Structure 1
Amino acid sequence: MKSSTPVEMVEEAPRPDLAVPDLPEEEQPGKVEVAPLGQDPAVIRRFLWKCDIRLIPCLGIMYLLNSLDRANLGNAKTDGLEADIGLVGNQYNQVLTYYYIPYVLCGPFFALITRLITAKYSLTGMMVFFGSFSIATAFAKNFSQLLTFRLFIGIFESGFLASVVIYMSGFWTRADIASRIGLFFASNVIASAFGGLLAYGTFQITDRHLRGWSYLFIIEGSLTVFFAIIMGLYIPQRLTSARFLTAEEKAAGVARQLADSVDEVDSKFSWNEAIIELRTWHTWIRILIVFSISVPLASNNNFLAPMVARLGYGTAKTNLYTVAPALTAAVFLVAFCFSSDRVRERGLHLCAALMVTTIGYIVLITINVDNLAVSYFALFLTTVGAYPVSPLFSSWCVSNLPNMNSRAFTIGFLIPVGNLSGFLVSNIFINSEAPRYMTALCVNLGFAILAIILCFSYGMWMRWENRRRDRLHGRITALDNHGHGQEYVTDGVLTSKDPRFRFMP
């Protein structure tokens, strides 16, 4: 239940069980609301294990299929899609550009739908529709038909990622959500590898009625619809209705949420709470960060295959050679996210990943395009550095949004804003500049550097603000993943402006 009284700090009598023995007496918690978790660590471990083993694979498969349906146009391009349906000039780039219009505009709407009807229904519904339109793309005969099908795919894919992040934040707290989003998001990277392998296989099909790229859309779209139905029957609506959890494990999960994640579990939707975070300056810095980090990521999603093609290989080898960078990136993505959770830090991890991307683009800009080995290694760097940024940023936002309604609207708003980068990316890979794509390389380098500056500055401000609040309102030691140590509750904390709140930098 939300507190009905105004937020005010009340001096608490010292409690031996809450003392932090390593701190000098003058640094012990003072004016701060505290509450021990009061749960058996063994129960918490069982809760986390069950959620991990039951939900992460399901969500990962769903996102893998979403990623395949979103990025398969790039694979199809390498198999003669443009020539087969008569695309001329920059019409392929136009298809990519127009796809992002409904993708951006509809994202917040679908995120709110998820908040109202739960992800169990919204995610599976979106999958059925964008999978069906992916199948339809196989039969596109001209530019207009291809564009129409991609627009509908953009509509129904728009709120998918935001809805998954919102759903996951209802099971895991900000202390452990980055690693889970990382595991889930690795399926997007694996999709790049699997998509390359699947494209390699389907492009070997010889049929006088349909080309290999048509079979690619049919196979991937059919898999999406099939798994949507299966997942709709399997995943729970929310933590409190998960049948694979015991009553004791559900209680532990709810306690963890209230202690270090949300203001209220299973709260009702409120427009006033949904937009409360948009009234702060944090929204603007988050917009700048998410757009900046999304440019290198969108470049890899849509143009990894064409960039590998600059190495001079044929269609089959080009798609096959996208596999290694993607799989390597998946490993580094998970490593970055687990490290982020372990040290409870987001901003510097983002900076580290972006530095890898920056080095990759500097190498691509400065070397001769005929230097195949170094070029391929540089593509590894750009891919490895680009993929961790999205899960790290998503978990960074979730970690600093205690209200579930505000979290849903803000995440649903920011992820589509990040996808605005698609408008830019789809127009900087200029055909006449192939295979070097110098404009695209320079733009990606510039945004990677800008993102490093923004993430570093924002993280440093959070550290400074936490220390300021500690001085004014008493020190808070955040709980660990096993419920040990000094804890504070987020129950009733609606916004990051609340002096009881501490940022995760």
Structure 2
Amino acid sequence: MAVHKTTSPSLSSRGEAVDSKDAYHVNQNADPEATLEAHNEPPYVVDHAAERALCRKFDFRLLPVLAVMYLFNALDKGNLSNAKTDGMDTDLGFKGNQYNIILSVFYVPYVLMAPVFGMVGKKYGPARVLPLLMTSFGSWTLLTAAAQNFGGMLTLRILLGMSESAFFPLVIYYLTTFYRRGELARRLAIFYAASNIANAFSGLLSVGVFQIKNTSLYPWRYLFLIEGALTFLFSIFAFFYLPSNAAAARFLNDNEKALAYHRIQVDSSSVVNEEFNLRESLKIFKHASTYAFLGIEVCLGVPLQSVTLFLPQIVARLGYNKIKTNLYTVAPNVTGAVMLLVLAFSSDYARLRSPFIVLGFVFTFVGFIIYATIDVEHDINLAYFATFMMCWGTSAPSVLLSTWYNNNVAHEGRRVVLTSVGVPLANVMGLVSSNIFFPSSAPKYIPALATTAAFGATGACLAALLGLYMVFDNKRRDRKLGRKLDIREVPTELLRDGPTVPEFRWFL
């Protein structure tokens, strides 16, 4: 068996800092059982209390700040639909489908620039790149308050799409450098719940702002001024607050830093803080599973963007005025955040992803089908309940899907590349959403609702099929080994090359 070692800090089984040479690159022809026996670094840490205390520090120090950052990210991206209910399109002289165009154009630079900024974030560190991206999109949101016509708004949306492109992928990658694989979903859920809260907060803020009277500015302009200014100010704080990695976190002592390093090396990354190598990172596209994950992202994107961009318009069919319409978007978004947390915590507890992703897609399908097929005017309560299911079904899969493929990619560079392609791919499906909700089909939007439901059903089928494939492939690998191998027995440093490695087991 050929084993090559690189020096790295580690821990004893008691969680104490020790020096060892324990980062292995294993010959693919080696016997899997022998490789596991030769690997003397345990994937578990005996001192569970120390791990829990460390995670609590990360939770309290990192998650609130990241959640607020993502809240502003979601606000700045999705506030156009609220502004439209106050007549923004009329005030700026939009004609025909120009509103749909400014929604669509956002996603072109969003997709094109996400891999680029994702790689920049890997190279220079997400703790520095994320606040800089936030400063940028906060500035464009501020300037949106000064837009005077379609051309000005179009330019600002292009710049906003560039600035926001890699934000979510980089946050996901950043968190994978602090948490084990089985701890990640609930943390990402807490973080991502900020987007639901943002949509709810945007509705509440709109209710207040749209009642401003006797002013030289249109009320919707204050929406962009307030949200843009808050985003810009918070980005300055985040730049100086976020640690570049666990080893640089001022709130950890030396033993905690060593423990943090060990946890990630045995249960997240093959090589912790690995130098970015573009050629190695692009090898992620040699794996068939990559394209399955990306296909599910496509199916997720249409329902996700339909809810993000058009929930106020969907709710408007209930027949309320603009104040009540914005107010009635709050509860579905809040319950969407709650459902996200329930499914994510359940997923981490069960150490399963695919069943909960399928359940989310089912919620999406049922919600949109109900709204498309019933007589909304005569069954308002059921129609409003369907909007809750729409939010339930778009929140959970987005987090759990990103967690799922991050759990199955141990190479840090490949992980950030896949996330930087997958997340924008889901978002670029806003091009579909913004071009199926035609003004001519308002207020029922039946073709758009049916199309969105179809994407939800397809996503459920793809996620279920990929999950079943992983189950059968793990069993095949176990038969070849001669015994059942628990995924937690295999340190991630052995899994650098993914499914080509005999010791690899899918995280279901």
TM-score if structure 2 supplies the norm length? 0.92
Cα distance, 1:495–1:4 mapped onto 2, change above 3 Å: closer
- Residue 17 of structure 1 corresponds to which residue in structure 2? none
Equivalent of residue 3 in structure 1, options 24, 28, 38 = 24
Show CA shifts across 1:303-338 (max 9, x none).
011111111111111111100000011001011101
- Residue 47 of structure 1 corresponds to which residue in structure 2? 54
> Separation in 2 of the partners of 1:169 and 1:476?
23
| 1:476 paired to 2:485 | yes
Give SS of 2:200's match.
helix
> Separation in 1 of the partners of 2:286 and 2:122?
20
Equivalent of residue 495 in structure 2, options 493, 496, 499 = 493
CA contact (8 A) 1:169 1:177 kept: yes
Q: Point out the more displaced range, 147-156 or 269-278.
A: 269-278
- Residue 339 of structure 2 corresponds to which residue in structure 1? 332
- Residue 502 of structure 1 deviates from its aligned partner by 1.0
Cα distance, 1:220–1:457 mapped onto 2, change above 3 Å: same
Equivalent of residue 64 in structure 1, options 57, 62, 71 = 71
* Paired letter, 1:475: K
Give SS of 1:289's match.
helix
| 1:363 paired to 2:366 | no
| 1:426 paired to 2:434 | yes
* Paired letter, 1:215: Y
> Separation in 2 of the partners of 1:34 and 1:365?
58
- Residue 393 of structure 2 corresponds to which residue in structure 1? 385
Show CA shifts across 1:79-137 (max 9, x none).
00011010011000000011110011101011101101111111100111110110110
- 1:143-158 mapped onto 2 (5 Å cutoff): 143-158=150-165
**After TM superposition, where is structure 1 displaced by more than 3 Å over at least 4 residues in a row?**
1-5, 7-13, 29-35
> Separation in 1 of the partners of 2:36 and 2:195?
45
> Separation in 2 of the partners of 1:150 and 1:195?
18
- Residue 17 of structure 2 corresponds to which residue in structure 1? none
> Separation in 1 of the partners of 2:75 and 2:32?
55
Q: Point out the more displaced range, 280-289 or 440-449.
A: 280-289
- Residue 184 of structure 1 deviates from its aligned partner by 0.3
- 1:164-243 mapped onto 2 (5 Å cutoff): 164-243=171-250
CA contact (8 A) 2:89 2:99 kept: yes
- Residue 247 of structure 1 deviates from its aligned partner by 1.5
Structure 2 segments unaligned to the other structure (5+ residues): 1-5, 7-22
- Residue 50 of structure 1 deviates from its aligned partner by 0.4
* Paired letter, 1:488: V
- Residue 34 of structure 1 deviates from its aligned partner by 6.4
| 1:453 paired to 2:474 | no
- Residue 47 of structure 1 deviates from its aligned partner by 0.7
- 1:431-446 mapped onto 2 (5 Å cutoff): 431-446=439-454
> Separation in 2 of the partners of 1:312 and 1:321?
11
Give SS of 2:148's match.
coil
- Residue 109 of structure 1 corresponds to which residue in structure 2? 116
| 1:311 paired to 2:322 | no
- Residue 506 of structure 2 corresponds to which residue in structure 1? 503
> Separation in 2 of the partners of 1:270 and 1:79?
48
Q: Point out the more displaced range, 213-222 or 232-241.
A: 232-241
Give SS of 1:89's match.
coil
> Separation in 1 of the partners of 2:370 and 2:238?
43
Cα distance, 1:30–1:181 mapped onto 2, change above 3 Å: closer
Show CA shifts across 1:234-289 (max 9, x none).
11011111111122122222211121211011111112221111111112111210
> Separation in 2 of the partners of 1:260 and 1:471?
24
Structure 1 segments unaligned to the other structure (5+ residues): 14-28, 480-486
- Residue 4 of structure 1 deviates from its aligned partner by 4.9
> Separation in 2 of the partners of 1:346 and 1:5?
28
Q: Which has the higher contact order (CA 8 A, sep 6+)?
A: 1
> Separation in 2 of the partners of 1:237 and 1:219?
29
| 1:353 paired to 2:353 | no
- Residue 11 of structure 1 deviates from its aligned partner by 7.0
- Residue 420 of structure 1 deviates from its aligned partner by 1.9
CA contact (8 A) 1:32 1:500 kept: no
- Residue 33 of structure 1 deviates from its aligned partner by 4.9
Q: How many residues end up aligned between the 2 structures?
A: 483
**Among the aligned pairs, what percent are the same residue?**
37
- Residue 16 of structure 1 corresponds to which residue in structure 2? none
Equivalent of residue 416 in structure 2, options 408, 419, 426 = 408
